[in-house]
């Protein structure tokens, strides 16, 4: 008997067949091994990564956006937790059908339904459930007053029937109500959502700005300081099984959340509210296109108020407000304009600092002056008049101002423009700040020096204009204006901010002299001879220093100065004897005064804001002034 073993080919043909079969087997084995090696070595990392991606879930812990407050801690912007009700319509409908089928089976009703009718029955049950959800979800939310969003049943029906994987049913829902809805209707999720609240409506919104639907800074401080306010989301990664269960021991990449920093502004909410109200009234009364005002602390350069008209209320329908001409813009820092005679105070400071004149020097001022072929007149016709240097500015004489500018000289005057910050952004912590426009000294033509000393031929923002007066109110030291007072990190510690740059522009003695000279602008005289151009700015019981301005706008058609379109400006210091506040105002093309009176002066608006501030803060009255300042010599 032959032992068991592989069959031995008996013929050469069988041997050839055997060798061929063995060769095929070896080749197949090599191919399989090579294929396996290719899959493991070449494709393996990619397949492994895809498997890891399918298993891994990244859970995000959203950072809480920092609060914005005024200088007294009153909230300007803060974040409330809320929820968005979301759903995957395709998956929801499949789950509803499956649950309906299971319930019919449990109740013993499924078998009684003919096979060909089951799909129709399940579809009807699905539609009934979708209808119930579309009706009951709005009722649950509206009954609790738990959402700021309008909830519409028809919208919900459309979203529930959408052929998509993700829909937001309702935003801004109270967390407790959202949790109840999600529990009542499986398949509806209560996703985390933060709501940014702006409790003061339009007040200060030109400064504060707002965030977008995605939670990113969109306008104002919210945009400029987004990196500070936003914080950093926390996140953790964990693997889950095919049925969504967490796999123990796979928690990794745990990054803790870092909440945003809180920002305390220099703004005074009560003052901001008052100024904004006064501007709206002034715009309506004067029929101006717009109005803006800035209030600075005379000693620190801090912005106490920065307001303009037609600011959007973020708590209302923003799109409709924008259609009506309202905006999130902040013209006080973004829109340059020619200041007009308000800027003459630079010429005065340069002349006094250089000891080129004295307040009481009498200048024989003609009705016009020719400078490098440019003839400049005063706003009123007159022959040669004896104006004191104080009177040149109190009466706002272009001719007298240019006579003093000639003593200063072009190079020296250019250096003072630079030291006062003209043509340079202040660096305030707000977006889109303009630098203004100042011709480079090398580009000055013959007529340039006939314009700049009287506030023409250059442009600046309202903040820059107000900063000029802050410099003189602060003993000649210019401090870059700031609107952030303090930044507090999420741990409660204060984050140091860069110190504002300081520039000694003129001596304290010069600053004091110029401020005293410009009291003449608000001086009243029954005869009119010693009256200034801004008597309406005077405040009973206080010395006030300031300057009016009327700047011709450029006609967009002729590209020349218009004869009927003006920027009306005023800047002033209160009290002049012990400066506390500096106020700058600009009106765009007013047709009459800010109280509806004749003329186009902004001085009465300065009076209203200044008087309110001095009274609120119980600022001591100024010492009585001895006699009157002499503007015009007899």
Question: What are the pLDDT digits (tens) for 126-160?
Answer: 999 999 999 989 888 887 665 555 678 889 999 99
Residue 323 has what DSSP assignment?
H
Predicted pLDDT of residue 603: 96
For the beta carbon of residue 253, count every other beta carbon within 10 angstroms. Answer: 10
Res 394 pLDDT > 90? yes
Catalytic machinery residues: 341
Closest listed residue to residue 346, CA positions, set 443, 465, 444: 465
Question: Per-residue confidence at 436, pLDDT binned at 50, 70, 90?
Answer: very high
Domain boundaries, the chain: 55-73+192-265, 89-186, 269-616
Closest CA to 523 of 390, 352, 418, 368: 390
**Do 361 and 388 contact (CB within 8 A), yes or no?**
yes
According to the CATH classification, is domain 55-73+192-265 in 3.90.1310.10?
yes
Q: What is the DSSP letter of 243?
A: T
pLDDT, one tens digit per residue, over 475-491 is 999 999 999 999 999 99
Asked whether residue 50 carries a pLDDT value surpassing 80, the answer given is: no
pLDDT category of residue 99 using cuts at 50, 70 and 90 = confident
pLDDT band at 551 (very low <50, low <70, confident <90, very high): confident
Residues 6+ apart with CB under 8 A from 431: 209, 219, 220, 223, 224
The pLDDT > 90 percentage for the chain reads 63
- Beta strand 68-69 with 262-265 is parallel
CA 598/CA 592 separation, integer angstroms: 5
**Cα–chain center distance at 400:** 42
- CATH number of 269-616, picked from 3.30.830.10, 3.90.400.10, 3.40.710.10, 3.30.505.50: 3.40.710.10
Residue 575 has pLDDT above 90, yes or no: yes
Stated pTM of the model: 0.82
Q: Which of 56-60, 411-415, 566-570 has the lowest mean pLDDT?
A: 56-60
Average pLDDT over residues 551-566: 83
- Residue 1 is predicted with a pLDDT of 46
**Residue 524: which of 399, 379, 631 has the closest Cα?**
631
390 or 213, higher pLDDT: 390
Q: Which one is predicted more confidently, 59 or 395? A: 395
Comparing 72 with 554, the larger pLDDT belongs to 72
* Total residues found in the chain within this entry: 634
Confidence label for 359 from pLDDT (cuts 50, 70 and 90): very high
Q: Tell whether the model's pLDDT for residue 443 goes beyond 80.
A: yes
CA distances from 176 to 137, 147, 172, 313 (A): 14, 11, 12, 28
Per-residue pLDDT at 418: 97
In this prediction, residue 10 carries a pLDDT of: 59
Of residues 310 and 558, more confidence is placed in 310
Using CA atoms of 498, 503, 508, 510 in order, give the dihedral in degrees to the nearest 10.
-150
Does residue 356 carry a pLDDT above 80?
A: yes
CB 296 within 8 A of CB 307: no
Q: Scanning the structure block, which residue is given the tokens 């204060």?
A: 494
Residue 31 has pLDDT above 80, yes or no: no
User: Quick one: pLDDT at residue 81?
Assistant: 81
72-85: average pLDDT: 91
Mean of pLDDT values over 439-463: 95
List pLDDT tens digits, range 249-280. Answer: 777 878 888 999 999 999 999 999 999 999 99
């Amino acid at each position: 008997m032959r032992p068991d073993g592989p069959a031995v080919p008996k013929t050469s043909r069988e041997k050839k067949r055997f060798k061929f079969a063995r060769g095929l087997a070896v080749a197949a084995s090599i191919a399989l091994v090579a294929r396996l090696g290719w899959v493991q070595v070449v494709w393996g990392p990619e397949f492994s990564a895809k498997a890891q991606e399918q298993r891994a879930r990244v859970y995000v812990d959203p950072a809480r956006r920092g609060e914005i407050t005024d200088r007294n801690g009153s909230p300007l912007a803060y974040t409330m937790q809320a929820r968005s009700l979301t759903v995957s319509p395709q998956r929801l409908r499949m789950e509803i059908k499956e649950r309906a089928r299971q319930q019919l089976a449990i109740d013993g009703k499924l078998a009684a339904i003919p096979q060909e009718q089951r799909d129709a029955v399940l579809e009807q049950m699905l539609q009934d459930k979708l209808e119930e959800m579309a009706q009951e979800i709005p009722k649950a939310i509206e009954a609790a007053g738990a959402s700021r969003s309008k909830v519409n049943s028809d919208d919900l029906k459309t979203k529930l029937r959408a052929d998509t994987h993700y829909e937001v049913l309702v935003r801004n829902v109270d967390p407790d109500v959202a949790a109840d809805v999600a529990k009542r209707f499986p398949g509806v999720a209560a996703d985390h959502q933060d709501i940014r609240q702006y409790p003061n409506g339009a007040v200060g919104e030109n400064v504060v700005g707002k965030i977008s639907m995605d939670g990113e800074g969109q306008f104002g401080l919210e945009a400029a300081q987004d990196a500070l306010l936003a914080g950093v989301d926390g996140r953790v990664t964990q693997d889950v099984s095919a049925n969504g269960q967490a796999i123990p021991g796979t928690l990794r990449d745990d990054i803790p959340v870092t909440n945003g920093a809180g920002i305390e502004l220099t703004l005074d909410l009560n003052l901001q509210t008052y100024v904004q109200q006064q501007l709206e009234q002034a715009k309506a009364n004067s029929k101006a296109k717009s109005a803006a005002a800035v209030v600075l602390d005379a000693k620190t350069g801090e912005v106490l108020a920065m307001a303009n008209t037609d600011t959007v209320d973020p708590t209302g329908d923003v799109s409709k407000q924008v259609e009506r001409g309202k905006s999130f813009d902040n013209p006080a820092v973004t829109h340059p304009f020619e200041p007009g005679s308000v800027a003459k105070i630079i010429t005065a400071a340069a002349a006094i600092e250089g000891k080129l004149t004295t307040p009481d020097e009498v200048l024989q001022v003609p009705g016009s002056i020719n400078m490098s072929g440019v003839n400049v007149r005063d706003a009123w016709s007159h022959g040669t008049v004896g104006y004191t240097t104080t009177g040149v500015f109190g009466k706002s004489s272009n001719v007298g101002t240019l006579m003093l500018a000639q003593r200063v000289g072009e190079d020296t005057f250019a250096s003072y423009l630079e030291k006062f910050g003209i043509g340079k952004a202040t660096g305030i912590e707000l977006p889109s700040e303009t630098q203004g426009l100042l011709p480079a000294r090398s580009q000055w033509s013959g007529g340039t020096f006939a314009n700049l000393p009287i506030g023409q031929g250059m442009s600046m923002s309202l903040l820059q204009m107000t900063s000029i007066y802050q410099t003189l109110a602060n003993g000649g030291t210019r401090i870059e204006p700031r609107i952030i007072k303090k930044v507090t990190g999420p741990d409660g510690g204060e984050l140091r901010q860069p110190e504002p740059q300081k520039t000694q522009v003129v001596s304290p003695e010069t600053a004091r002299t110029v401020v005293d000279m410009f009291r003449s602008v608000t001086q009243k005289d029954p005869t009119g001879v010693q009256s200034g151009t801004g008597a309406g700015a005077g405040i009973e019981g206080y010395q006030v220093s300031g300057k009016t301005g009327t700047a011709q706008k450029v006609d967009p058609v002729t590209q020349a100065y218009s004869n009927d379109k003006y920027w009306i400006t005023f800047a002033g210091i209160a009290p002049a004897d012990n400066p506390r506040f500096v106020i700058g105002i600009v009106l765009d093309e007013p047709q009459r005064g800010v109280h509806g009176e004749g003329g186009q002066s902004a001085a009465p608006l300065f009076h209203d804001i200044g008087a309110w501030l001095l009274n609120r803060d119980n600022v001591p009255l100024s010492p009585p002034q001895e006699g009157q300042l002499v503007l015009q010599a007899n």
